[in-house]
């Protein structure tokens, strides 16, 4: 698909996801009204506020009442300080909304061009765009994080742990907004693709595709199985020192390196332990299957396409494993139904890190195995 045809659905999807997040942010204050607990229980209302907080337009009350907590200011100084911190917060949110539009637009443009929703590719295009939404949200909150941290008034204190907390805050609302945006993007892309030259699915040698998928999945397994093991994860979080502003990088490393967290069955029954490990197996199976199909879905096997495609495959695997965890969760009656979705979208930063690495490994293996003829195709 040409850029002229692909840019229209990408723009529509980017605008929709930005508007949805804007609406979600505008709705955050409504959850603090008195009648909220008449609609939601206390736990559900609190969880919804946590979901919407990363996109809320209004700064926290502490910023409006004279600066950061514990600032000790008063009078005109407090008012001026509170205004400055509130302005920083507003700048952070403006950057965040612009960034989520730009990142989603860029990814959607690449995906719609390389996996156009024609010739049986529509489900793959939809899933890839859906998976790209949480990635765009994670990148947007990362870009805007310095301004948000500065607005709290203590940006020089444990900056890297604060940065890690902001990066991990995009939340389940991003997953739901991305689903709606992906649906509309695919619908518009199918309309704009009418009249274009047919782009049939390419034939990739099965052996080469399987080897490429296995190499990419092995990279994902490095994070999910080895790095995410409790003792290794603890070493990652505590063994890297530093000084000054860049001290305590462990929390940040955890966000970008760990796709999960697990330990041996010593403290839980073996049956329950195996059941929870089934979610990890499901994730690896989804990643392998997606990487197995990816070279044949792409109209041109390029480095950016394989990297973005592998990131989307990893996010899809994460979502599949999280849905399985939701099915096994028995705390809904205690914490409320909203809590069931609280973990949806976790692990996306690490999915970006290892998804890119998995895409590069899969592409290198594909070319070594003689399955890269699709890279010569036009488009």
Q: Which of 276, 284, 281 is nearest to 314 (CA)?
A: 284
Query: Is the distance from CB of 349 to CB of 252 less than 8 angstroms?
Result: no
Q: Which of 321, 327, 211 is nearest to 262 (CA)?
A: 321
**Cα(18)–Cα(174) distance, integer angstroms:** 10
Using pLDDT thresholds of 50, 70 and 90, give the confidence band for residue 222.
very high
Domains of the chain, by residue range, sit at 1-200, 201-379
Work out the average pLDDT over 224-228: 95
The model's pTM: 0.90
Q: Which of 53, 314, 93 is nearest to 173 (CA)?
A: 53
Question: Among 8-17, 83-92, 251-260, where is mean pLDDT lowest?
Answer: 83-92
More confident residue, 306 or 375: 306
Is the pLDDT at 351 greater than 90, yes or no? Answer: yes
State whether residue 262 is helix, strand or coil: strand
Counting residues of the chain whose pLDDT is more than 70, the rounded percentage is 83
State whether residue 90 is helix, strand or coil: helix
Q: Which of 309, 224, 235 is nearest to 262 (CA)?
A: 224
């Amino acid at each position: 698909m040409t850029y002229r045809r692909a840019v229209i659905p990408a723009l529509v999807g980017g605008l929709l996801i930005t508007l949805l997040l804007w609406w979600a942010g505008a709705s955050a204050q409504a959850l603090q009204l008195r009648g909220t607990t008449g609609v939601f229980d206390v736990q559900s209302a609190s969880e919804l506020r946590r979901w919407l907080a990363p996109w809320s337009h209004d700064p926290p009350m502490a910023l409006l009442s004279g600066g950061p907590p514990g600032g000790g200011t008063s009078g005109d100084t407090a008012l001026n300080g509170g205004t400055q911190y509130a302005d920083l917060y507003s700048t952070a949110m403006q950057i965040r909304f612009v960034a989520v539009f730009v990142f989603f637009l860029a990814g959607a443009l690449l995906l719609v061009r390389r996996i156009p929703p024609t010739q049986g590719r529509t489900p793959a295009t939809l899933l890839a765009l859906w998976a790209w939404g949480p990635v765009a949200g994670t990148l947007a909150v990362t870009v805007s994080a310095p301004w948000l941290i500065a607005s709290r008034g203590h940006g020089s204190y444990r900056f890297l742990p604060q940065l890690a907390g902001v990066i991990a805050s995009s939340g389940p609302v991003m997953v739901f907004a991305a689903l709606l945006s992906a649906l509309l993007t695919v619908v518009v892309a199918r309309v704009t693709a009418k009249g274009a030259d047919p782009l049939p699915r390419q034939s990739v040698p099965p052996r080469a595709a399987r080897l490429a998928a296995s190499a990419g999945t092995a990279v994902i397994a490095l994070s999910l199985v080895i790095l995410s093991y409790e003792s290794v994860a603890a070493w990652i979080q505590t063994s890297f020192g530093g000084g000054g502003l860049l001290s305590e990088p462990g929390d940040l490393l955890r966000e970008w390196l760990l796709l999960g967290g697990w330990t041996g069955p010593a403290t839980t029954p073996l049956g329950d332990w195996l059941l929870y490990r089934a979610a990890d197996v499901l994730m690896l199976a989804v990643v392998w299957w997606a990487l197995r199909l990816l070279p044949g879905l792409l109209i041109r096997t390029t480095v950016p396409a394989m990297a973005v495609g592998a990131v989307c495959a990893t996010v899809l695997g994460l979502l599949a494993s999280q849905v399985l965890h939701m099915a096994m969760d028995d705390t809904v009656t205690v914490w409320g139904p909203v809590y069931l979705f609280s973990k949806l979208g976790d692990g996306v930063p690490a999915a970006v890190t290892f998804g890119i690495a998995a895409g590069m490994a899969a592409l290198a293996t594909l070319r070594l195995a003689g399955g890269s003829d699709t890279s010569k195709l036009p488009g």
